[in-house]
A and B are shown apart, each in its own frame.
Chain A
């Protein structure tokens, strides 16, 4: 799986490409937790180019979400293909993740929450 990182002022976007499974999960988790440790705890994961995900990939996302909650951060998912969205639905994970149709809408949600907080 390829991970492209875009640094923004108050959040980062990780665009994932390829398969999110047992083989690629460790790399993704390390990549994210490295940034969380640096204080970058507002993250959008753009899954537009994820062409395959299974329970190993889902489990890793849940594990990352838990770590980010501990760090008082936010993890938002965007651009899920319909078949990826289906697997989030049947596992009920759509209820615990913040999922947005587009990266722009995810960004808007981050911005809105910041306005509300201040």
Chain B
């Protein structure tokens, strides 16, 4: 994908979930998402991030999570990479629907991502850990594709490239 790329490395410090959501929200706004689209986008990023923290890194405070936002005129893709040992099968990709057994307490995250995002993929990284990729088509938005993000998210280590 040629376009803008914004890479974050997030350590599980204070309000690390909130810092991840804030960047996702800023990306969505830059790309011209309306509030409901922004909510869906941030929910998907939050699901991937929570899975990476809880199921991938097993809430280990010494392990970080990479979150990479990449977008061009057509698509925005978010890669969330953990440092854990889980296999893709652990996410039950084939049968995950958000409404299966609606009285269960967990297991809805993958289903929500599959429903809200246009595409979702999971792969093992060569370095270890899983990479969850979610993509959204931009559907002719009057986005500010070339506008850099503000790098003001305290505690989040990020950089942007073209």
Give the interface of A toward B (CB within 8 A): 19, 21-23, 52-56, 58-60, 62-63, 66, 82-83, 86-87, 90-93, 95-96
Q: How far is the CB of B92 from chain A (nearest CB, A)?
A: 13
Structural contact, A93 and B102, CB atoms closer than 8 A: yes
Residues of B within 8 A of A90 (CB): 98-99, 112, 115
Structural contact, B36 and A83, CB atoms closer than 8 A: yes
Q: How far is the CB of B120 from chain A (nearest CB, A)?
A: 14
Structural contact, A92 and B109, CB atoms closer than 8 A: no
The CA-CA distance from A90 to B100 in the complex, in Å, is 11
Given contact pairs A52-B42, A55-B109, A83-B35, A22 touches B54 in the complex (Cβ within 8 A):
yes
Max chain A Cβ within 10 angstroms of own Cβ: one of B46, B104, B109: B46
Structural contact, A54 and B46, CB atoms closer than 8 A: yes
Q: In terms of DSSP, what is the predominant structure of the interface of chain A?
A: helix
Q: In terms of DSSP, what is the predominant structure of the interface of chain B?
A: helix
Give the interface of B toward A (CB within 8 A): 15, 17-18, 21, 35-36, 39-40, 42-43, 46-47, 50, 53-54, 98-99, 102-109, 111-112, 115
Residues of A within 8 A of B109 (CB): 54-56
In addition to A55-B50, A56-B50, 7 A-B residue pairs with Cβ atoms within 8 Å of each other are A22-B17, A22-B53, A59-B105, A62-B103, A90-B99, A90-B112, A95-B102
Residues of B within 8 A of A56 (CB): 50, 109
